[in-house]
Amino acid sequence: MADTARTTLGMVLKGFPRISETFISNEIRLLETMGFRIHIFSMRQPREAFSHDSVKEIQAGVTYLPESMVRELPVLLWHTFMLLLERPGRFLSGLKLLFSRFASAPKKHTWLKHYMQAAFLVRKAKGMGLAHIHAHFAHTPTTVGMYAAHFEGVPFSFTGHAKDIYTQDPVRILDKIERAKFLVTCTRYNKRHLTEMAGSLKPVHCVYHGINLDLFSPNGRSQTAEAPYSVMTVARFVPKKGLDIILRALRKLRDKGLDFRYTLIGDGADRDKVLAQIEELGLGDVVDMPGTITHEQVIRHFETADLFVLGCRLAKDGDRDGIPNVVAESMAMGVPVASTNISGVPELVEHEKTGLLCESESVDGMAEVIERLLTDNALRQRVIPAAREKVSQVFNNKKLIEDLGNIYKSHGVPCGRE
């Protein structure tokens, strides 16, 4: 296919659609409005039975890659063999790249799967005119994207977010950086980390995820609060969210006589631990757990909440948050935020200005910031409008995706409107 016919941006994702990754679907939707022609390559089928409304507006086609090395091995082997016949030079040089990375790799069968998934991707992309491949998350999607770009003979790039940056062997990330045309990440904290790794090898761009400010508004609600207070969290049930710290802080506040209800929205691997802790702390009568719900349902919870709380921490495996989008959504809705000073959170939640922060792992500190934001109405009246203004200035996804689109174009990714 002639280079002039290459007009498609291939987007490699871990899964599509995913309830926890609204920022990616919003990014794709807004890039399309700028004129980018996108095709999505998803490494997993959808895991939830529903999706956010923004997904329905996406025009991009979706190709699902085979997931299983057992059930779908014949398909993977067939497309890998056919790629060898069709592009022997690129296949064999790709195989050399695989083996150079393979020798010290754990779980070697997954590395072979990623190579074969890339072969499947390229064969399914025939006629699409792939011009560039971009992967979201620096671990397996970037690995697949890197091999696929090599097979196809096009540039690739990737966006690093959180766990994918900090729990992966730095040697593996640097290996991908060396081969990528450019990198994107979602916080200045991440950019500093990646720039220290990459040096002057490749440009590292920081673009916040952003939120759709049209969906989030205080709607004239009161900036004051009174008991019984409504506290909420939206999070995956994983260690880095610090849910155990929040629950222990709430127990301390209940012992002090604070009257509240707590809504904990989400699910995850630590669900049983969370349930056990709620029972152990005797909080079952004040905790509601609606599970995983739609974005629209989350907004309705924001409309009645007095406080949003998240206990971000550095997990034992190195995992940590960037800037959780729900923090920005809460601020835009006029719901003050109590969180910790971990990672990129202070870039949006400025202590005493646009919210309150405490040290991670501090139950006493968490209890203090929760109590202050619930009971100090003068503080609320100062913080709430400042938080809304901060989000409007730096987290408007329409402006941010325009910036991202211009980054793509500056690196030669074609846009239909050019």
List strands edge to edge, sheet with 307-309: 287-291, 260-265, 229-234, 307-309, 337-340, 356-358
Nearest CA-CA partner of 280 in 310, 244, 309, 311: 244
- Asked if the domains 3-210+396-410 and 229-394 are classified in one and the same CATH topology, the answer is yes
> For the ranges 82-96, 100-114, 278-292, 380-394, which has the lowest average pLDDT?
100-114
Fold of the domain built from segment(s) 229-394: Rossmann fold (3.40.50)
- Give the percent of the chain with pLDDT over 70: 95
Beta-sheet strands, E only, within 57-180 = 61-64, 130-136, 156-160
pTM for this prediction? 0.88
Out of 105-109, 239-243, 257-261, least confident range: 105-109
C-alpha to C-alpha distance for 362 and 347, rounded to whole angstroms: 20
The more confidently predicted of residues 31 and 110 is 31
265's enclosing H/E stretch is strand 260-265
- Write down the residue that tokens 């919210």 correspond to: 355
Burial of 211: CB neighbours in 10 Å, binned 0-12, 13-18, 19+: buried
Report the mean per-residue pLDDT for the chain.
92
pLDDT of res. 1: 40
What is the reported pLDDT for 3? 44
Tens digits of residue pLDDT in 255-292: 999 999 999 999 999 999 999 999 999 999 999 999 99
Whether 4 shows a pLDDT value over 80: the answer reads: no
Q: What is the pLDDT of residue 2?
A: 42
CATH superfamily of 3-210+396-410: Glycogen Phosphorylase B; (3.40.50.2000)
**pLDDT tens digits, residue range 34-79?**
999 999 999 998 876 666 667 888 999 999 999 988 899 999 999 9
Domain ranges of the chain: 3-210+396-410, 229-394
Taking each continuous run of H as one helix and of E as one strand, the counts in the chain are: 15, 13
Residue 65 and residue 117 in contact, taking contact as beta carbons nearer than 8 Å: yes
Q: What percent of the chain has pLDDT over 90?
A: 78
40 contacts 13 by C-beta, under 8 angstroms: yes
| 300 pLDDT higher than 90 | yes
Please tell me what DSSP assigns to residue 43. Answer: S
Average pLDDT on 154-170 reads 93
Q: What is the pLDDT of residue 138?
A: 95
Query: Whole-angstrom Cα distance, residue 351 to residue 259?
Result: 25
Q: Is the backbone of residue 149 left (phi > 0), alpha (psi -120 to 50) or beta?
A: alpha
- Indicate if the pLDDT at residue 160 is higher than 90: yes
Is residue 162 within 8 Å of 342, Cβ to Cβ?
no
> How far is residue 245's CA from residue 340's CA, in Å, rounded to a whole number?
11
